Structure 1
């Protein structure tokens, strides 16, 4: 069936609009600020036979592109009994998941009485139980210490929610009254998707929409192949490093070998470190999705659907910490490990296509969790917060400052919302001036923020990265400044032993936490930086005058040190 270009474009945008409306309903009806304010969620449409991604909302987190595809495939394999009106609840990391806090729902979509596709979404719940509030347990040595693990179970059956299952879930997590709101928000988003997709099919007909989906996949594959053909054939290798696994204080290596052959590209991660004791193992869905995401960062113009990934071949890295099996802990897989996978791919291909690449970004979500009891409201709470960092310099300019994580388009929650919801004061939130790596084009700056507990007691935990190694530069550029965490309790200031990870920090009234997020890496030699750019940075107060500048020729500027 031949489809004219106008109809094809309208259907393409219509499918995206279905997903985007799901995103908006999910966002506007959720109780948790991490979803409603920070947009840590995603919604999409997936193929009936194989769960392949058909469309995802423009506002959904990119890391979930591959993850939700694998989740849907696992549901298809596990549940052969789904009917119209059913909704599956699942967060099992080993069944196409990520960490336990990313809770997925999958709904079979029926059109005119027969199954047509799947609608699916995921939302980050601030807590799913486990040893520490918020779930980011940096010392877990098995999955059961991280929280409630949910296999694919029917949360809704023929349109009716299973109240017993809801009670079981809520009894095993903290601040249950908020989670029921998040549960209903995800269900409502799927219902919205079903209505909008029905309207699209009614308007254009099944045959036309199915033909459009097939054509869109073919076009995405052709475009991705044309980009890959522009990469010189050959093998390229690079490594990126995790600070530690949270238990053993030693780095973990993400080693990638990239082989380009015509219009196909192959990724081999088998030289990476073996499975680790702590929660920095990655499940296959997260590792695979990270490679897909890296390619989308390089070639962002390729339309997003399953065809985009057809030329990308990833060998399952069995025997490494990037292919976790039960019961390995995996709390850091999506938020942190995946960003090192992306970083390793970008570093490897920077040799082949420097005019398409950029230096490493901050590469950490900066996960900070704090839970306690507020004596003023008489209620328990859990605050989950992530922050931005510097992006790497690129072939045409400096990196942006305070950008979102490599794997998402989420944003930091507004200070005013946090102070309204929790017994805290954000005493400082500012650019971390001078944190960008030196280069012809310097890296962007991270941020510095300080959170003070105003009343009651709380327990804080951290699961971050790039505390031991700053984000690397490329083509002679310098690394950005590494992550820094400081905790002040009873007037005594300390930092975590593992630099970017720690848990069980008991805070009292007046205690505070300060975080300085990484700056991006530099692009090209610092000695090639244009004098007018150096002067511009000096006039803006980004650097102090002095010898040995970090991103300037000799005797131009020097990095500001933290107060």
Structure 2
């Protein structure tokens, strides 16, 4: 795509065609998502939807489109991944596919594995197709990769710089052998690899059809206009925020190694239609895996504004009015070889929380109290003696959303950086040697307020046979999600591990690894409830009575 003037583009394309092309680009990405989902072997992708696909500019990797079914945290991450691949690999040709999971090449944690494919139309490079899938394991010290005690990236798993996995349509068996030799349950990983490649191939087919139908010039003009409109819409929203500097802090329970809080400190300045987010007061780089790479930090900022202004389209134009500064020298701009396993799933949610808390007094009619703010990462790896095979279960869990200006928070909502869903317990029980004894609403967990928060969940499962090793990397275990405008805090996360007669609570409350389970042992997790919005004294009497009648324990 050569540079096209938005004004010229808008003058040469009619509104109907513009809308059709916009939806067509999104549909290309959504079909990629569906192929990725339906052909993956791992339940975390096929059932939990922990994946995303998108279209990116050939010039600088900026986002053109992402499917509505993709995870929001990948809004900015895959843009940065594509930019890194463009800069690093000048030798790619039609039919190549690059494999990369290096956090320092525009990534997140090692389990989010990206593939980038240059898309050629009529013999010329036209754009890049990029996707991400969460692999349940990429090696490392802990099954599942969420090692809460890692102190360097090498302990977290296999790290891949941009390597050519597919050469002109032919998969490189040597690369596959290296990958499969370094991960657990390799027969499952090869299925996930082929699913990602298939999703990109679907993108090639569908995008070619779109260009054949409307022509390159029309589609490129539409993309330029959509990007310009995205920026104008974002600026219109920002201009409605009173000018000024708004500050807030959000706290991690610990970094998993040093048992002390880690602070995301934000000073957010609004000046007309420009916003500067300064994170310079945040904690320095930490010893444990809660450091955030730059791509994840940027993407978390974008996700926060998408939450606040949900009508924003998904293209790079929306990001232009946002300037993120001050992260150098903090744990929000990790440098090699800092460990980063928690950056995308947990630290990013504290960044979202800090943005929303900062703006809650400026635009209270657009904001909401803090939600559970944790993906509830739990991994269990072991050997099933009945099936005669190794397994790795990675699961995440929902929690309460915060109360908002027009109602109570959602119960058992997904993390603030995802649209993933809980994997059905029936599927987990079928795949792995365990039994869920409880999966219920966590009564009494919501923060009180004029509009209360939503409830977390309370689940417990027992290992039925064999031996397994469990690890946790969660958040909001020390203090629950805060309320706003006088609303109260939701209950914090709780983890208990029962082994024989002993019941253990992790030293770091929300994090821990190396818990060996044998037959009959169990794990219990209670996820946070959302914070409350407004003074609870202003809550409607009928709402209070309805909560009591439903036995919510408030």
Is this a same-fold pair by TM over 0.5?
yes
Partner in structure 2 of residue 273 of structure 1: 283
Contact 1:255/1:271 (8 A) holds in 2? yes
Q: 2:36 aligns with which of 26, 44, 52?
A: 26
Q: Secondary structure at the match of 1:70?
A: helix
Q: 1:197 aligns with which of 202, 207, 218?
A: 207
Q: 2:510 aligns with which of 500, 508, 517?
A: 500
Q: Does 1:209 align with 2:219?
A: yes
Correspondences of 1:306-455 after superposition (within 5 Å)? 306-455=316-465
Q: CA deviation at 1:302?
A: 1.2
Q: 1:293 aligns with which of 303, 312, 317?
A: 303
Partner in structure 2 of residue 106 of structure 1: 116
Partner in structure 2 of residue 139 of structure 1: 149
Correspondences of 1:29-44 after superposition (within 5 Å)? 29-44=39-54
Q: Does 1:50 align with 2:60?
A: yes
Partner in structure 2 of residue 458 of structure 1: 468
Q: Does 1:521 align with 2:531?
A: yes
Counterpart CA distance in 2 for 1:248 and 1:303 is: 40
Contact 1:316/1:323 (8 A) holds in 2? no
Q: CA deviation at 1:434?
A: 1.2
Q: CA deviation at 1:18?
A: 0.1
List gaps (5 residues or longer) in structure 2: 1-8
Counterpart CA distance in 2 for 1:360 and 1:74 is: 33
Counterpart CA distance in 1 for 2:361 and 2:515 is: 43
Q: Does 1:76 align with 2:86?
A: yes
Counterpart CA distance in 2 for 1:258 and 1:375 is: 55
Q: Does 1:128 align with 2:103?
A: no
Correspondences of 1:165-244 after superposition (within 5 Å)? 165-244=175-254
Partner in structure 2 of residue 551 of structure 1: none
Deviations 1:259-286 (A, max 9, x none): 0000111100110000000000000000
What TM-score does the superposition give when structure 1 sets the normalisation length?
Answer: 0.96
Contact 1:240/1:341 (8 A) holds in 2? yes
Q: 1:262 aligns with which of 236, 255, 272?
A: 272
Partner in structure 2 of residue 488 of structure 1: 498
Q: Secondary structure at the match of 2:306?
A: helix
Counterpart CA distance in 2 for 1:448 and 1:192 is: 39
What TM-score does the superposition give when structure 2 sets the normalisation length?
Answer: 0.98
Q: CA deviation at 1:494?
A: 1.1
Q: CA deviation at 1:14?
A: 0.2
Contact 1:284/1:316 (8 A) holds in 2? no
Counterpart CA distance in 1 for 2:228 and 2:149 is: 45
Q: CA deviation at 1:316?
A: 4.9
Q: Secondary structure at the match of 2:481?
A: coil
Partner in structure 2 of residue 304 of structure 1: 314
Counterpart CA distance in 2 for 1:113 and 1:95 is: 28
Counterpart CA distance in 2 for 1:76 and 1:502 is: 38
Q: Does 1:10 align with 2:20?
A: yes
Q: CA deviation at 1:315?
A: 1.1
Q: Secondary structure at the match of 2:53?
A: strand
Contact 1:32/1:126 (8 A) holds in 2? yes
Counterpart CA distance in 1 for 2:244 and 2:119 is: 44
Counterpart CA distance in 1 for 2:193 and 2:364 is: 45
Q: CA deviation at 1:313?
A: 0.9
Counterpart CA distance in 2 for 1:491 and 1:280 is: 32
Counterpart CA distance in 1 for 2:297 and 2:124 is: 34
Counterpart CA distance in 1 for 2:26 and 2:294 is: 26
List gaps (5 residues or longer) in structure 1: 544-558
Contact 1:234/1:261 (8 A) holds in 2? yes
Counterpart CA distance in 1 for 2:279 and 2:180 is: 38
Counterpart CA distance in 2 for 1:92 and 1:316 is: 23
Counterpart CA distance in 2 for 1:303 and 1:530 is: 35
Contact 1:368/1:461 (8 A) holds in 2? yes
Q: Structure 1 residue runs of 4+, over 6 Å off?
A: none
Counterpart CA distance in 2 for 1:302 and 1:127 is: 34
Counterpart CA distance in 1 for 2:314 and 2:173 is: 37
Counterpart CA distance in 1 for 2:477 and 2:454 is: 17
Counterpart CA distance in 2 for 1:249 and 1:10 is: 53
Q: CA deviation at 1:211?
A: 0.1
Contact 1:475/1:523 (8 A) holds in 2? yes
Partner in structure 2 of residue 59 of structure 1: 69
Q: Does 1:151 align with 2:179?
A: no
Deviations 1:459-493 (A, max 9, x none): 00000000001000000000100000000001211
Partner in structure 2 of residue 552 of structure 1: none
Counterpart CA distance in 2 for 1:316 and 1:201 is: 42
Deviations 1:305-345 (A, max 9, x none): 01111111111500000010000000000000000000000
Deviations 1:323-380 (A, max 9, x none): 1000000000000000000000000000100000000000000000000000000000
Contact 1:491/1:511 (8 A) holds in 2? no
Deviations 1:443-471 (A, max 9, x none): 00000000100000000000000000100
Counterpart CA distance in 2 for 1:340 and 1:63 is: 13
Q: Secondary structure at the match of 2:267?
A: strand
Counterpart CA distance in 1 for 2:263 and 2:316 is: 29
Counterpart CA distance in 1 for 2:402 and 2:180 is: 42
Partner in structure 1 of residue 5 of structure 2: none
